[in-house]
Amino acid sequence: MEDQEFERDEQRLEARRLKRLEQKRKRLMQQRIVLGVLALILILVIVLIVRGCSKKQAAAAPSSSSAASSSAASASASAVETKPNTVATLAAVGDIMVYDNQISDAEQADGTYSFDDCFKAISAYTMGADLTVGNLELNFCGSPYSGFPNFRAPESLAATLANVGFDLVQTANTYSIQNGMTGLQATIHYLDAAKIDHVGTCATEDERTETNGVVVKDMNGIKVAFIGFTKGVNNSSMPDGTEFAINLLYTDYSSNYSQVNEDAIVKQVEAAKAVSADVIVAMVHWGGEGDLEPVDTQTKIKDILFQNGVDVILGSHSHLVGPMQEEAVTTKDGTKKTCFVAYSLGNFLTGKEADGYNISCILNLQFTKDGETGETTISKISYLPVYIMDSGTSADVEFQVLPIRSAISSGLFPDQTQTMTDAIAKLRVDTDSDYDSGE
């Protein structure tokens, strides 16, 4: 009975995943139809202009009167017509990491690697948003694959992430150049192949020149600009001539992390503002591992980002889910608005056993763009509690990312029921919020 109930849960999740794929297919088809209709209309207009020029001249007087009446009617109709609001949802997760035990679990009999089973129970939620993002804290740069400290993950993970709905990942973090600049460049190559965008790093100077470090995404009709930063690269220094490659939060990024690089941060925000987006999202790798509370320089960076125009900050690095809150902000140009910061979204995929490191969430931010004013605001905030299950090496699937309440209700994890119940309460305390979706 328990297996049947969990199977029904999996079927429900798969149905939601397929629904999102169908929605994407329909949107693409609609776009193609609209473009085709517009092209046909343009051709017809040209034909009518060419063939009807003499007729229009002969009937100039009455046509002018008719046109005036038509224009007046159109103006009257426009006066009462209202544009609908646009609503879209962004899903965000924390650190995606792969350790040695996860690599062993993913290896198949034929020597290939598959991470598909890790996300089966959660994929409906990552697929359910209009846009899904996370922090990719590893490199795709070929074998030998390994976990800590090099984090060289099998490239098949990129395709899996794309298949479960990820649209963009942050690549500016501790391990950006752990395998050298070639590791950074290879990671971007494999993400490109999987059609996942990256933010915070650039493979070449040409990419930096072309994008200015800004990634623009269409989120169901709402234009979102993403920028990314990291506090450092594992206490290393960037090789000479590669300053273009990573956005750094500190000038002393290889030592003390005390001197905030305000000029570089503001320059990157200005580049995001230049694309005239409805929303600007900054993904930042900051703070200390295992720390729940933000340090002074994080607060300073947050203020710099918000006051210069960023709307949302999505934090990573501590591997624990930290505080998240809305904040009333007056920007430097005098604009008043409500911004949102999540200091850390914890781990989304990990094989590390440490207190709290396997408790996570999927943050969901709903945005509404006013059809009349064009103003876009955060209209709803919630998170889904998530648990990273390690069932042991004897299990068919050792590592799974589970939606906690569904996992509890399935009855398949009796030994972890209390732990997962406690995790829900812990997330409420650690986030210092009431954003729990209840799902």
DSSP secondary structure string, 215-260? EEEEETTEEEEEEEEES-BTTB-PPTT-GGGB-BSBTTTTTT--SB
**Predicted pLDDT of residue 95:** 98
Question: 386 pairs with which residues across the strands?
Answer: 360, 403
**Predicted pLDDT of residue 354:** 81
> Domain residue spans in the chain?
2-80, 86-431
CB contact at 8 A, 90 and 367: yes
In this structure, what DSSP letter does residue 278 have? S
With the CA atoms of 283, 171, 124 and 116 taken in that order, what torsion angle do they form, in degrees rounded to the nearest 10? -160
Helices (H), 280-358: 296-307
E strand segments, 30-153: 86-96, 131-136
Cα gap 227→265, rounded to integer Å: 10
Could you list the pLDDT tens digit for every one of the 439 residues in the chain?
444 444 555 555 555 555 555 555 555 455 555 445 455 555 554 544 445 544 444 444 444 444 444 544 454 444 556 789 999 999 999 999 999 999 999 999 999 999 999 999 999 999 999 999 999 999 999 999 999 999 999 999 999 999 999 999 999 999 999 999 999 999 999 999 999 999 999 999 999 999 999 999 999 999 999 999 999 999 999 999 999 999 999 999 999 999 999 999 999 999 999 999 999 999 999 999 999 999 999 999 999 999 999 999 999 999 999 999 999 999 999 999 999 999 999 999 999 988 899 999 999 999 999 999 999 999 999 999 999 999 999 998 899 999 999 999 999 999 999 999 999 999 999 999 999 999 9
CB contact at 8 A, 134 and 94: yes
Q: DSSP 3-state assignment of 170?
A: strand
**Predicted pLDDT of residue 21:** 54
In this structure, what DSSP letter does residue 374 have? -
Question: 416 pairs with which residues across the strands?
Answer: none
E strand segments, 269-390: 279-285, 312-316, 324-330, 336-342, 347-349, 359-369, 376-390
Q: Any residues with CB less than 8 A from the CB of 375 and at least 6 apart, and which? A: 369
Cα gap 146→100, rounded to integer Å: 6
Question: 347 pairs with which residues across the strands?
Answer: 95
Cα gap 211→410, rounded to integer Å: 46
Q: Which CATH superfamily is domain 86-431 in?
A: Metallo-dependent phosphatases (3.60.21.10)
**Predicted pLDDT of residue 213:** 98
Task: Report the greatest alpha carbon distance in the chain.
Answer: 88
Model confidence, pTM: 0.83
Query: Count of CB atoms within 10 A of residue 48's CB?
Result: 12
Cα gap 341→189, rounded to integer Å: 30
Q: Which residue has the tokens 């290939």?
A: 112
Question: 363 pairs with which residues across the strands?
Answer: 92, 383
**Predicted pLDDT of residue 61:** 42
Half-sphere exposure of 261 (CA within 13 A, CB side): 20
Cis previous bond, 149, omega within 30:
yes
Q: Any residues with CB less than 8 A from the CB of 105 and at least 6 apart, and which? A: 393, 397, 398, 399
Q: Any residues with CB less than 8 A from the CB of 314 and at least 6 apart, and which? A: 92, 133, 170, 281, 282, 283, 284, 342, 345, 363
Query: Count of CB atoms within 10 A of residue 277's CB?
Result: 20
CA 216 to the chain's CA centroid: 11
CB contact at 8 A, 385 and 130: no
